Amino acid sequence: MILFKNIDYLDENFKWIKNANILIKNKKIDKIFFENKNLDFSKFDHVIDGKNKLIMSGLFNLHSHVPMTLLRGYGEGLNLQDWLYKKIFPFEATMTARDTYYGALLGISELLSSGTVSFSDMYLRLQGIVDAVDQSGIKANLTNTATGMDPHLIYTDDSSYIEEKYVLDYIKSHPGTTVRTDAGIHAEYTSTPQLAEQVIDFAKQNNLSIQIHVSETAKEQKECQARHQGKTPIEYFYSLGAFEQKCILAHGVYATDNDLNIVKENNAVLVHNPASNLKLGSGFANIKKWLDNGNHVCLGTDGAASNNDLDMFQEIRLAALLSNGLNRDANSITPIDMLKISTINGAMAQNQTESGCIKEGNYADLILIDLDTPNMQPIYDLPTNLVYSINQKNIYLTMVNGEILYQDNEFKTIDIEKVKAEVKKIQKEKLNILS
Ligand SMILES: [Zn+2]
């Protein structure tokens, strides 16, 4: 049992509630109460004083490639297609499960210390990532997205399927794990319709959501339309039946009005990744339009090779600034909208119905923010400070399933010095192989 004593929190309506006591028990927010005069504090395992601190839901990063921390800064100054084919894919071809384990632990350390409690991820050598997620205690929806341009490719013979199956079996045999899985198709331009259909069947058989990259660049959009009788990537995946499962669609920079309607009518999710889209020169989406259309909108960092960080609060700030600038409207998106997109919307997209906001009965997937720093004072409107003024140093504590994973610059489940040393070794090895 952990008690946060005399602490402020942001409730499910993003209202600032002051001086509460929040009891964490059996992974959950057991009780929120206000009177503690006669309380025997010795009966709790741990009492954390909430003075000058705020509890809010942790953040949900709905699109990432977390082990790509290993490639941070490796392929610079290239747009998406050259970046992928000249730098990223050759590097990734050398990766082992040991590499993705350390790459994922480095990425998870960054996520936890910047306030993220759960992420959706596409990558390869999932065995290493599963171990990193389980060890760290963070929540994650992992997929190895299928790729392949051979129309005769049998999905069940492919390494992406074998790794998906590994994760499914792992989850079955580890009931307490924080690892979850989705199906995944990398993109229209990296797979055939035959392969995509097999993945969609697999998703249906196992009732999984499907993570896909769509409409990231103008080039992708145009070439897809040329290949598939004018269909956009979203129309194309719709025609294959992908939307019969919940689809988590990353990017959508060039999504058309018709695309947005397909996404909405089929309860699919659009994930905005502004930093990565800007950095690779792809453009960026107008999320005000998505929200006005009634779409389910989430936020993601994408990988650290195209961002180049995994800090969701930076992404929140950037997304809000871009929306206001693009729409020439200082109120195009409210701070509360941005916080919703990054918390409850993410939890719902991952089907975590008992997470994403602070209320009794929910899983204790939360963060403590230090409000007593120069950049957070004064406070006229708390959500505004949380969107525009906060930085990573304000994250004091990150808790997932009621367990403290990060507190006061210390990782409780990760030996960060060892991880950094191993990552340096991997960097050296890869540069030798690839030179
Ligand atoms: Zn991506």
- At 171 the three-state DSSP class reads helix
CA of 140 to the centre of ligand 1 (A): 15
pLDDT score, position 211:
98
CA of 163 to the centre of ligand 1 (A): 19
Q: CB neighbours of 385 closer than 8 A, spacing ≥ 6? A: 371, 376, 379
Q: Give, in words, the CATH class of 59-349.
A: alpha beta
Same fold, 2-57+360-411 and 59-349: no
Could you tell me the CATH superfamily of domain 2-57+360-411?
A: Urease, subunit C, domain 1 (2.30.40.10)
What pTM was estimated for this model as a whole? 0.98
Q: What is the pLDDT of residues 121-163, one digit of tens each?
A: 999 999 999 999 999 999 999 999 999 999 999 999 999 999 9
CA of 41 to the centre of ligand 1 (A): 47
DSSP string, 125-159: -HHHHHHHHHHH--EEEEE--B-B--TT--GGGSH
CA of 274 to the centre of ligand 1 (A): 11
Question: Please, which residues bridge with residue 10 across strands?
Answer: 16
| Domain residue ranges in the chain | 2-57+360-411, 59-349
CA of 78 to the centre of ligand 1 (A): 15
Characterise 256 by phi-psi region: left (phi > 0), alpha (psi -120 to 50), beta (else): beta
Q: What is the pLDDT of residues 153-182, one digit of tens each?
A: 999 999 999 999 999 999 999 999 999 999
DSSP strand pairing (403-407 vs 395-400) = antiparallel
CA of 91 to the centre of ligand 1 (A): 16
pLDDT score, position 36:
84
Q: What is the pLDDT of residues 392-422, one digit of tens each?
A: 999 999 999 999 999 999 999 999 999 999 9
Q: CB count, 10 Å around CB of 159? A: 12
